[in-house]
Amino acid sequence: MRTTAGLPQAVVCARVFRLDCARSLTPQRTLYRRFTGSLAPQCTLDRKFTGSHLERDVARFSPRLTLHRLHASPLGTSSVSSAHALRKVGVSAALDSSVENEPSATSSSSPSGGTEQPHLPVLLAEILGFFSERKVQVYVDGTLGAGGHASAILSAHPEMKKFIGFDVDPLAHQLARPRLEACSSEGTSIHLLRKNFREMTSALQELSPGLEAGGVDAMLIDFGVSSMQLDTAERGFSFLADGPVDMRMDPTASLRAEQIVNMWSASEIGRILRDYGEEVHWKGIAQRIVERRPIHTTSELVRAIGGKRGGGGKGKKKPIHPATRTFQAIRIAVNDELGAIEQVIPAAIACLKPGGRLAVISFHSLEDRLGKQAFREA
């Protein structure tokens, strides 16, 4: 869940897929167009376009919403349709260490656990609309966070019998459980699992055999770091607040960011800056990090990174903090975020019932690219 200030015009790519009895997936039609209003895949147009212009039309660090529907036909075959929506959104820095400013007043969580409403979930209206046509009795939230999306979906679907939420962060469970219990119906059972969503198949099978193989009506997965993690300096995610160089989403995980910056070689650090942060100056930054060792706090890491804010000016992108891509890259490496994404999407699609729906929110091009690729190969 992440904060947003508004939802203006978007770019949508709608793809239609046909899934035969042998479950082979073939793309049939593709459309790219600008639109305002609700997300509605355009499934009847024949003309094809290249998608190279999409990334240029959309701000680099904008949330992207990917929707999947699994349809069953009367003849026993089925089809999958998906819509990739890349949103131009006014996003506060609570969303990701990839953005420049610290969280705005809309985010009121605190290191000690926050308040009842830590932040507003991004793309909430689109998510609710996507699930509104579906009777949701079994729902899975792959990234529980503070429960913003989850509580809204529980309120919108009183018919829900089983809610399952995944999150490795104990603070997420602490914040979300009372919110979910307050808005759930009397007949709804709530299961909060302190597991990574990459363990979805085994976790659902253990919880209720059969759920992992077509037992879920609807599912949401929101990739990346949450505002409550950025807001807590002690977690080390933010480059604008001094704290230990940690960056673990799961506080019990063995690998910490401090180990990467102090123990990895310049070539290893440079590789993740290049591949996970898409940092142009990866060689120089990696060398400066090695030369400034030992590094124990985020402020020390920021000073080691150095540099000036890039971009800005007429016709150019808004300048970003010089530590933006480095912090993103190290965080992704610490939590193996891209590896988890590659695993979860095929598993999530396999969990859906005929007619089930899966929504995915991503915030940078690496997540978005992996998500689209996984959908195409599912």
The reported pTM is 0.72
On the question of pLDDT at 151 being above 90, the answer is: yes
Per-residue confidence (pLDDT) for residue 25, from 0 to 100: 34
Closest listed residue to residue 65, CA positions, set 88, 48, 32, 97: 88
pLDDT at 227: 82
pLDDT value of residue 375: 79
pLDDT of residue 314: 46
183-207 pLDDT, tens digit each: 998 899 999 999 999 999 999 999 9
- Residues 273 and 282 sit within 8 Å (Cβ to Cβ): yes
Residue 138 has pLDDT above 90, yes or no: yes
Strands 64-72 and 352-362, sheet pairing? antiparallel
Q: Are 164 and 188 in contact (CB under 8 A)?
A: no
Cα separation, 378 vs 376, in Å, equals 6
pLDDT band at 376 (very low <50, low <70, confident <90, very high): confident
Q: How confident is the model at residue 283 (pLDDT cuts 50, 70, 90)?
A: very high
- For residue 2, count CB atoms less than 10 angstroms from its CB and return exposed for 0-12, middle for 13-18, buried for 19 or more: buried
* Residue 86 pLDDT exceeds 50: no
Q: Answer for the pair 217, 356: CB distance below 8 angstroms, yes or no.
A: yes
The mean pLDDT of the chain is 73
Cis peptide before 251 (omega within 30 of 0): no
**Tokens coding 50:** 């290249």
pLDDT of residue 195: 95
Phi and psi dihedrals of 120, rounded to 5? -95, 135
> For residue 179, is pLDDT > 60?
yes
pLDDT exceeds cutoff 90 at 94: no
**Terminal CA-to-CA distance of the chain, rounded, Å?**
25
Contact 170, 232 (CB under 8 A): no
Element (H, E) at 349: helix 337-351
